[in-house]
Structure 1
Amino acid sequence: MLYKWAKLALAAGILLNGLCPPALANTTTGDAANADADGNTIPLASIALLLPLRSSPLGAAADAVRSGFLNAYERDKSGLAVTVIEAADTPSDMLAAYNAASKKYDILVGPLSRTGLTAIIQNGKVEKPTIALTQPDFSGGKDAVLPTQLLPIGLSIEAEARQVANWVGTDYAPGKVLVLSTSTAWQKRVASAFAQQIQGSGLHAEVVTLSLENGVFNVDALTQLQQRVEGEMPRLLFAALNADQTKQIRIAIGDQTPIFGISQLNPLTLGDSNPDHQIPELNGVRLVDIPWQVQPDNPAVMIYPRHEVAADQRRNADMERLYALGIDAFRIAHEVAARNTVFQIDGVTGKLNVNFGAGTPGFERVEPTAAYQNGIVMPLDIP
């Protein structure tokens, strides 16, 4: 997922080896304490942000999260101190960094990888509020019970697929949905999440796995798909694909059948007006994506600076999403520091519903709906 970044570490979930050992306290910023109206000292809440900043596969992603987190902190730092900790992202090194930080800080934010998070969960010692930047891997029969002090908030393409299933299940039932995928792991997971969620809606999902070679679909496979669409007349297609792959599908079958997808159909960034980057072939294709990518008028989006990139570089949509994740991670940490246990945030990654600190953790992210218009992705007014 996450396009080029996805190829390196989808949802920051790849296994890493041979990285540098953890080093604590790379950067600390914040006041020593606050005072109440009577001048009494209020203890400072300390936050540790654990990221693999020196990792070859994950360093750029970690830096994007760090930048978003610290920019959000600069807007609302009162009573908080943030320490950025370089934590090598092998499971053992991440666990060592996490355990050391747990002894020194009130709130921990991280890790970024699923392997790191799995190591922390399996260690069984989550004793401080921990805001994970990824989603746990409960495949292989693992018990899907999280520690009460752990809140995973990572961006999830599977959750996006489920949201799209709820969306189309309301508007397009009854009938058939063709779910298009390749054999790529993240696409199979997205297709499966959609197909499972659509059950009971009145729509019947059939997964179609297409052969891909060097990024190009087999011509015969596209012809067969076109014939199947014309013969079976599905209510819609769900593309568990990226934008370029979906473009090939659209050219092959035409625009008569609605196509829906997730954020991976949007490789553009907000404000990118370069005509060369536009994809008019996808006009009318609908998807979900985070506000940071599709809602320039969202109040939360407007108040934060954009992710800085070199003048000769094009903004990367997946790095923008991770930067936005950093912003919302700080906002959640701020609420946790204030000892709020049930709260909502109109975030830059979506509308966030959080239940944390009193019983079983709960987290939901609802992303805005959008559609391609004139080659770019624009927000829709429908929910």
Structure 2
Amino acid sequence: MGPPAEVQAFPVDLAGVLPGAQPGLKVEVVTPPASETAGGSGADGNSGASEPPAAQAAQPGGGSGQAGADDIAGKANVSGVSGVSGVSGVSGVSGVSGVLGASPASGSNAIPVREDTAIKPGPVQQGAAVPPYRIGLLLPLRSDALRQASEALRAGFLAGWERDKQGVQVSVIETGDAAPDVLASYVDALAQQDMIVGPLARSAVSAVANSRKVAKPTIALNYPDNRETVALPPQMMVIGLSIEDEARQIADWAGREQPGATAYVLGGSVAWQRRSAGAFAAQWQRIGNASKVVELTTVNGYLNDGELVALRGRMQTEPGAVVFAALDPDQTRQLRIALAAPPLGDIPIYGTSSLNPGRARQVPGTEMDGVRLLDMPWQLQRDHPAVMVYPQLVPSSERKPDADMERLYALGIDAYRVAREIARQQDQPLARFRLDGVTGQLNVSFGDGAARFERRELQAVYKNGVPVPLTLSQQP
């Protein structure tokens, strides 16, 4: 039994990780004595004083990182209020990389383990401490194009971990956006983690899915390229946000409300608009209805007025039609105004979450009233108990509120919750569960053959310029 660990207090700013955390929060850092870190086994279960490979991979650029705070990573437990270990000066939302949640095996700073909630990675000898379940969060934080999205996802994931972290250790693994780089980091992480959450980029997800390297549970945050033709390995599941899935859900909803109607599927030339329009049209035809796809011209982001006049003339000859708007909020408002006069004033208009710009950009007025859409509880039900338990994403001085970043933050929360529940059920042949998630109602089957994931989002209708969720009694 060696000398007691040294307890020191370091001011660690968690405000960038979890909105609402107090800047300069002091947490206890337990440093193993020299006799344990110079090659022996420390109280936290790490051998030696060097960083584990996962913590090294989490440093910006893959280098040695900063001296001082980074030296804590991999050999110290940060307990008390935050429970964060491995602190480094990563800019942006998080400010934390390395290993999160590492716990000493005994002593006053050990995290208590309850039999009914503990996650157990495998059989252990009687009397031995239960090692934490290790989750690697693989994000392209070194990518200029994907850094902001990665930071939002990381912040949400850590918010989920902060609320339910007992027995779980999280390592943030930073990559670029090149698929070979991500795949190499993924393969390295397999040796250090029990589960991988990521990648994020479509090309990287494709690389992992086709690599034949998926040997542990892997939760991808986006769909692979050509998702309809790519077969995922048995231990891989995708939980990314999908505009196509929303469009298909909208088609089913509109089909129940407007059976047999002809749908005018209106969109622009932007890639996501074409994907959304195509998914709706295919599902609309699948349920036995006719559709007419119209790609509208845009000038500086606005719809061409002449085309709207011509469209109105065509639609007047087809009473009982419905509209699916694969458009942004401003374009949909322009469309709504163009169709507002009789006899088209009451024509039903449906759309995905792309019609909701978020609270910061909602425009007062009634032009959008009656437009139907889908969106996640995080955007529509901020006062729901399942949403309120998590801190809100606080925009920085350099970044204004953004609905897309809010949705990615919410995805990070649900990604952790799904990973946590799969880990809880790891001893079962099939992990099957439902979650009341902040991105929707989640249905998951994982572990026996092909994984299955389904997200059902909320139905809403615009009232006084604000999308309002429909109650169950109002839904068809």
Instruction: Flag whether TM exceeds 0.5 (same fold).
Output: yes
Name 1:30's counterpart in structure 2.
Answer: 101
Q: Residue 468 of structure 2: SS of its match in structure 1?
A: strand
Q: Does 1:106 align with 2:194?
A: yes
Q: Which amino acid aligns with 2:277?
A: A
Name 1:93's counterpart in structure 2.
Answer: 181
Using the aligned pairs only, state the percent identity: 46
Residues 309, 229 of structure 1: alpha-carbon distance in 2 compared, 3 angstrom cutoff: same
Name 1:151's counterpart in structure 2.
Answer: 237
Distance 1:124 1:217 in 2: 46
Q: Does 1:57 align with 2:148?
A: no
Shift of 1:80: 0.3
Among residues 365, 370, 377, which one is paired with 2:460 in the alignment? Answer: 370
Name 1:309's counterpart in structure 2.
Answer: 395
Shift of 1:203: 2.5
Residues 186, 40 of structure 1: alpha-carbon distance in 2 compared, 3 angstrom cutoff: same
Residues 287, 23 of structure 1: alpha-carbon distance in 2 compared, 3 angstrom cutoff: farther
Structure having the larger proportion of residues in helix: 1
Shift of 1:279: 5.4
Q: Which amino acid aligns with 1:44?
A: P
Name 1:242's counterpart in structure 2.
Answer: 328
Distance 1:241 1:250 in 2: 11
Distance 1:295 1:39 in 2: 46
Distance 1:156 1:280 in 2: 29
Residues 362, 208 of structure 1: alpha-carbon distance in 2 compared, 3 angstrom cutoff: same
- CA RMSD across the alignment: 2.1
Distance 1:39 1:205 in 2: 66
Among residues 143, 151, 156, which one is paired with 1:68 in the alignment? Answer: 156
Contact 2:143 2:175 in 1 (8 A): no
Where structure 2 has 5 or more consecutive residues not aligned to the other structure, the ranges are: 1-59, 65-72, 74-96, 106-111, 116-125
Q: Residue 42 of structure 1: SS of its match in structure 2?
A: coil
Residues 143, 278 of structure 1: alpha-carbon distance in 2 compared, 3 angstrom cutoff: same
Distance 1:214 1:295 in 2: 33
Residues 23, 133 of structure 1: alpha-carbon distance in 2 compared, 3 angstrom cutoff: farther
Where structure 1 has 5 or more consecutive residues not aligned to the other structure, the ranges are: 1-19
Shift of 1:192: 0.8
Please give the per-residue CA displacement for 1:341-371, whole angstroms capped at 9, x wherever unaligned. 1011000000000001122100000000011
Shift of 1:277: 3.7
Shift of 1:31: 3.1
Contact 1:45 1:80 in 2 (8 A): yes
Shift of 1:78: 0.3
Distance 2:238 2:62 in 1: 22
Name 1:81's counterpart in structure 2.
Answer: 169
Which of 1 and 2 has higher RCO (CA within 8 Å, sep 6+)?
1
Name 2:306's counterpart in structure 1.
Answer: 220
Contact 2:369 2:465 in 1 (8 A): yes
Distance 1:54 1:277 in 2: 35
Distance 2:61 2:398 in 1: 33
Distance 2:380 2:238 in 1: 24
Among residues 210, 218, 238, which one is paired with 1:122 in the alignment? Answer: 210
Distance 1:71 1:375 in 2: 31
Distance 2:434 2:114 in 1: 26
4+ runs deviating over 4 angstroms:
20-25, 33-40
Contact 1:22 1:88 in 2 (8 A): no
Name 1:13's counterpart in structure 2.
Answer: none
Please give the per-residue CA displacement for 1:78-99, whole angstroms capped at 9, x wherever unaligned. 0000011111111111111111
Residues 22, 195 of structure 1: alpha-carbon distance in 2 compared, 3 angstrom cutoff: farther
Among residues 221, 225, 238, which one is paired with 1:137 in the alignment? Answer: 225
Aligned positions, number? 358
Distance 1:362 1:183 in 2: 32
Shift of 1:138: 2.0
Name 1:353's counterpart in structure 2.
Answer: 443
Matches within 5 A, 1:136-285: 136-138=224-226, 143-254=229-340, 255-269=345-359, 272=360, 277-278=363-364, 280-285=366-371
Shift of 1:260: 0.3
Q: Residue 322 of structure 1: SS of its match in structure 2?
A: helix
Contact 2:442 2:456 in 1 (8 A): yes
Please give the per-residue CA displacement for 1:93-139, whole angstroms capped at 9, x wherever unaligned. 11111111111100101111101101111212111101101112226
Name 1:299's counterpart in structure 2.
Answer: 385
